[in-house]
């Protein structure tokens, strides 16, 4: 029995009481259930404690079988009680975790519904005929962006043209409109619901030129709309809490990106 308990503490027959105490302190900290979350940590911690108690208070003489059975029964009761408390603690932690997940899901459900409605309206807005807005062109600018961050050779790069109307601001491919030195009138074609500018019809010397917005929530980034609709529907249809939580995280990230692009 002594050899077994020594092996539990990683010691041999030559170990002293000081060795036993030192090994017990080290192993009990390593396998304490509050620190070690492995499945067998609790069982190992019990063995370590039993070994320490046996080796530090060994019986001088063999007691009667009745005493041994009572001691064994007491240890078994202690072990069962420890396991019961550990199971209750683990169950309580799982219950609190489930409650938190369900609370987060319930909070996000209106968001998912809002995302679904917003993107459905975007589809309708794009399909409906555009509305014409007569505009005055207030200015045309070259827009530069800084490039060369990776090489350390920073420089201004001409990216696109910006046209300022009295109600809209539109972006076009570089060089597309910057050379318009005069113009008669301008009309902006915008969506009906969200009033997103899509095209600019500029009349120069009696000739109408139609210029397309370089990008917006519909052009270039329009692929996000079906993704957002699919994610929101998926979130509403999923049943398992963890799956709904993962879907809500992905949907939240894409929602932030889409809102940024909408107001760009």
| CB distance 235 to 253 below 8 Å | no
- CA dihedral (249, 254, 258, 260) in degrees, to 10, reads 70
N- to C-terminal Cα distance for the chain? 76
**Among candidate residues 114, 253, 261, the one with its CA nearest the CA of residue 196:** 261
| CB distance 206 to 185 below 8 Å | no
Q: Is the pTM of this model over 0.75?
A: no
**Exposure class string for 116-151: b at 16+ Cβ within 10 A, else e:** bebbeebeebbeeebeebebebeebeeeeeeeeeee
DSSP helix/strand/coil, 179: coil
Report d(CA 20, CA 50) in Å as an integer. 12
Phi/psi at 150 (5° precision): -70, -40
Q: Give the pLDDT of the chain (264 residues) as one tens digit per residue.
A: 778 778 877 888 888 888 888 888 888 888 787 777 777 777 788 888 888 888 887 554 444 444 556 667 777 777 878 888 888 888 888 888 889 999 999 999 999 999 999 999 999 999 999 999 999 999 999 999 887 666 677 888 999 999 999 999 999 999 998 888 788 889 999 999 999 999 999 998 888 999 999 988 998 889 999 999 999 999 999 989 899 999 999 999 999 999 998 887
Pairing of strands 169-173, 155-165: antiparallel
CA 139 from chain centre, in angstroms, equals: 42
**H or E element, residue 93:** helix 65-127
Neighbours of 20 (CB within 10 A): 19
**Exposure class string for 249-261: b at 16+ Cβ within 10 A, else e:** eebeebbeebeee
Report d(CA 187, CA 167) in Å as an integer. 11
Tokens of 214: 């370089």
Report pLDDT for 205. 84
Report pLDDT for 63. 47
């Amino acid at each position: 029995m002594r050899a077994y308990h020594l092996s539990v503490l990683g010691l041999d027959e030559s170990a002293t009481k000081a060795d036993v105490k030192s090994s017990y302190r080290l192993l009990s900290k390593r396998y304490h259930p509050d620190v070690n979350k492995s499945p067998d940590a609790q069982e190992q911690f019990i063995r370590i404690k039993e070994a320490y108690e046996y080796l530090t208070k060994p019986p001088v003489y063999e007691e009667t079988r009745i005493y041994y059975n009572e001691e064994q029964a007491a240890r078994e009761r202690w072990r069962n009680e420890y396991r019961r408390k550990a199971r209750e603690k683990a169950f309580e932690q799982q219950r609190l975790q489930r409650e938190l997940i369900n609370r987060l899901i319930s909070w996000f459900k209106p968001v998912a519904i809002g995302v679904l409605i917003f993107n459905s309206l975007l589809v309708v807005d794009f399909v409906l005929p555009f509305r014409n807005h007569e505009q005055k062109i207030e200015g045309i600018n070259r827009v530069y962006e800084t490039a060369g961050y990776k090489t350390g050779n920073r420089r201004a790069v001409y990216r696109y043209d910006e046209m300022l109307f009295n109600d809209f601001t539109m972006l076009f491919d570089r060089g597309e409109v910057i050379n318009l030195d005069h113009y008669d009138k301008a009309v902006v074609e915008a969506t009906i619901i969200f009033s997103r500018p899509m095209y600019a019809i500029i009349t120069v010397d009696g000739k109408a030129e139609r210029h397309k917005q370089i990008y917006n929530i519909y052009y270039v980034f329009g692929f996000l709309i079906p993704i957002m609709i699919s994610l929101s529907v998926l979130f509403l249809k999923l049943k398992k809490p963890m799956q709904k939580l993962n879907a809500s995280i992905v949907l939240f990230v894409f929602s932030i990106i889409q809102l940024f692009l909408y107001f760009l």
